[in-house]
C-alpha cells in the first residue's frame, strides 16, 4: 500500500530525515513515536504529498506526486493535530460536507457525540470538540489510508476513550497511521511502531517488542516506567 525510500530530506539545507525505508502492506496499521522535533509530522506530510518527496513515496505503486488531488485524497488523508479553518462562520455540518461522502455525516456525528453541535460554528467549539471534529472528518472522508497527527491531544479521559475505540476498531477506516506522544495509547493500540530519533527510523514489529523495560530505559531513561498494561511517566 505504502512504500517509502527516502535517503535524505532537507529543509533549508538542514537534514531533517535520513535513511527512511518503509513498506506498509494493505490494511497494516502503524504507530509513529519520537521526541519533539524528531521529524514525525514532516514524514507524515511527505507520505501525503503535502511536502514534495522527489519520487521517494509510492502509494498503490504510484508515486504520490503523480496523483491528482481527488485521487490522492481518496487514497491517503492527513489529519493535523489542530483544526485550522479559514471561514469563521462555517458550521460543523457544512465543514464535514466538504468531504466526498456527505451521506455519512449524520451517522458519524452520532458516533462521536457531536450531533448537538451540527449547526454550531466550528470556531465556537472547545479544543476537545474540535479534536473530535477532526476525527469525524476522517471518518467521513474514509480514505484508504488515514494519518492522524496527535489524535487525542486536547481530549478529556472520556473523549480519549471514545477516540481510542474508534482508532482501534477495524470497522472504522481501512488503514491508519497514528502519530502520538501518548505512550499508553500506542501500547493499547498494539500496532507496529516506527520510532524516529535524530531523523532516523527504527521499526518494531509490535508494541510488545517496543514496550519492554530495557527498550524504554534505552530511549527514555528513568522518565518512563511500565507496569503491566500501563505506561507511566515517572514524575
| Residues 16 and 39 sit within 8 Å (Cβ to Cβ) | yes
Task: Say what the pTM is.
Answer: 0.92
Compute the C-alpha angle 23/58/1, nearest 5°: 50
Domains and CATH numbers, the chain: 2-85+144-166+175-233 (3.40.50.300)
| Strand 62-63 versus strand 76-79 pairing type | unpaired
| Residues 92 and 118 sit within 8 Å (Cβ to Cβ) | yes
Cα 79 from chain centre = 6
Rounded CA-CA distance 66/64 in Å is 5
Question: What single string gives the DSSP state of each residue in the chain?
Answer: -EEEEEEEEEETTEEEEEEEEEEE-TT--EEEEE-TTSSHHHHHHHHHTSS--SS-EEETTEEGGGS-HHHHHHHEEEE-SS---S-TT-BHHHHHTTSS-GGGHHHHHHHTT-GGGTTSBGGGS-HHHHHHHHHHHHHHH--SEEEEESTTTT--HHHHHHHHHHHH-TTSSS-EEEE-S-HHHHHHHT--EEEEETTEEEEESSHHHH--HHHHHHHHGGGEEEETTEEEE--
Q: Along the 235 residues of the chain, how does pLDDT read in single tens digits?
A: 898 888 888 888 888 898 888 899 988 999 999 988 888 999 999 998 888 888 889 888 888 888 888 888 899 999 999 998 878 889 999 999 987 777 889 999 999 999 999 999 999 999 999 999 999 999 999 999 999 999 999 999 999 999 999 999 999 998 999 999 999 999 999 999 999 998 889 999 888 899 999 999 999 999 998 888 899 898 8
**Residue pointed to by grid coordinates 527516502:** 6
| Residues 60 and 129 sit within 8 Å (Cβ to Cβ) | no
Amino acid at each position: 500500500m505504502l512504500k517509502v525510500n527516502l535517503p535524505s530530506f532537507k529543509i533549508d539545507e538542514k537534514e531533517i530525515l535520513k535513511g527512511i525505508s518503509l513498506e506498509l502492506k494493505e490494511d497494516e496499521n502503524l504507530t509513529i513515536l519520537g521526541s519533539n522535533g524528531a521529524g514525525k509530522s514532516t514524514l507524515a506530510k511527505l507520505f501525503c504529498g503535502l511536502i514534495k518527496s522527489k519520487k521517494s513515496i509510492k502509494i498503490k505503486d504510484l508515486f504520490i506526486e503523480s496523483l491528482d488531488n481527488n485521487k490522492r485524497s481518496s487514497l491517503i488523508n492527513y489529519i493535523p493535530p489542530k483544526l485550522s479553518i479559514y471561514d469563521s462562520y462555517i458550521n460543523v455540518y457544512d465543514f464535514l460536507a466538504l468531504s466526498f461522502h456527505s451521506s455519512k455525516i449524520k451517522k458519524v456525528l452520532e458516533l462521536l457525540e457531536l450531533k448537538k453541535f451540527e449547526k454550531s460554528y466550528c470556531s465556537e467549539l472547545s479544543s476537545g470538540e474540535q479534536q473530535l471534529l477532526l476525527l469525524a472528518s476522517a471518518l467521513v472522508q474514509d480514505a484508504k489510508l488515514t494519518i492522524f497527527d496527535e489524535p487525542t491531544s486536547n481530549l478529556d479521559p472520556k473523549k480519549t476513550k471514545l477516540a481510542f475505540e474508534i482508532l482501534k476498531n477495524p470497522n472504522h477506516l481501512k488503514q491508519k497511521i497514528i502519530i502520538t506522544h501518548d505512550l499508553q495509547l500506542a501500547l493499547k493500540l498494539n500496532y507496529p511502531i516506527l520510532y524516529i530519533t535524530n531523523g532516523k527510523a527504527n521499526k518494531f514489529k509490535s508494541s510488545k517488542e517496543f514496550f519492554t523495560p530495557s527498550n524504554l530505559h534505552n530511549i527514555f531513561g528513568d522518565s518512563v516506567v511500565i507496569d503491566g498494561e500501563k505506561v507511566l511517566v515517572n514524575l
